[in-house]
Amino acid sequence: MLLLLIIVSEWDRLDSIVKPWLHSTLSTSLLQMIFKKKVITYEVWRNIEKVFQDNKVNKIIQIDNELRNITMGNFTITEYCNRIKNLADFLDNMDAKVLGANLVAYTLNGLPPKFRYIATSISLRHPLSTFWDTQSILTKEKL
C-alpha cells in the first residue's frame, strides 16, 4: 500500500511539472481551446491531438482540392512542377499519399492550351511517364 502511495505521489509530482510546461508551449488561442481544470497531462495531450487531428482532415481536403485544380498560370514549368511536388509532399507527410499517375494527370490538366499536344503525347505513353519524366519532357518542350 505504501509503495502504491509513493508511486501515485511521484506521478502527481511529475504531472504537476509536465502539464504547466505543456501549457506554456501553446499559443493563447489553442490553450483557451483545450484548457480544462483538474485534468492530467495525458488528457491535455489528447485534447491537443484531437484539435490537430480535426484540422488535419480539413487541411488534407483543402490541399488535395488545390492540387486537383492547379493551373500553370504565369509560372514557369519548373515553378509549376515544384508547386505540384510541394503540395504532393505535404499530403504525403499527412499520410495522404498521391499516386504517381494522379500527379502526372494533375500536372497535365493544369497546362495551358499551348502545351495540349505534348500533354496528349505524355498521357498516351505506356507505361505512363513518372512525374519526374513529365517535368523533364515539359521543360524540354518550353514553348
- Looking at the structure, do residues 86 and 128 belong to the same domain, yes or no? yes
- Looking at the structure, do residues 125 and 85 belong to the same domain, yes or no? yes
DSSP per position, 14-47: HHHHHHHHHHHTS-HHHHHHH--SS--HHHHHHH
Report yes or no: 129 and 122 within 8 Å, Cβ to Cβ.
yes
Whether 101 is in a domain gets the answer yes
- For residues 90-94, give the mean pLDDT: 92
Beta-carbon contacts of residue 54 (< 8 Å; ≥ 6 apart): none
Domain-terminating residue out of 13, 32, 55: 55
Cell of 134: 513529365
Confidence (pLDDT) at 13: 81
Mean pLDDT of the chain: 88
Q: What percent of the chain has pLDDT over 90?
A: 52
Quick check: 99 pLDDT over 90? yes
Separation between Cα atoms, residue 61 and residue 55, nearest integer Å: 10
Whether 64 is in a domain gets the answer no
Number of domains present in the structure of the chain: 2
Report yes or no: 87 and 125 within 8 Å, Cβ to Cβ.
no
Report yes or no: 96 and 60 within 8 Å, Cβ to Cβ.
yes
3-state secondary structure of 97: coil
pLDDT in tens, 31-54: 788 788 888 888 888 888 888 777
Whether 12 is in a domain gets the answer yes
- Looking at the structure, do residues 76 and 50 belong to the same domain, yes or no? no
Confidence (pLDDT) at 8: 61
Whether 65 is in a domain gets the answer no
Whether 38 is in a domain gets the answer yes
- Looking at the structure, do residues 142 and 75 belong to the same domain, yes or no? yes
- Looking at the structure, do residues 78 and 51 belong to the same domain, yes or no? no
Long-range contacts of 45-53 (CB under 8 A, 24+ apart): 48/22
Whether 124 is in a domain gets the answer yes
**What is the span of the domain harbouring residue 133?**
70-143
- Looking at the structure, do residues 107 and 138 belong to the same domain, yes or no? yes
73-106 CB burial, b ≥16 within 10 A, e <16: eeeebeebbebbbebbebbeeeebebeeeebbbb
Quick check: 6 pLDDT over 80? no
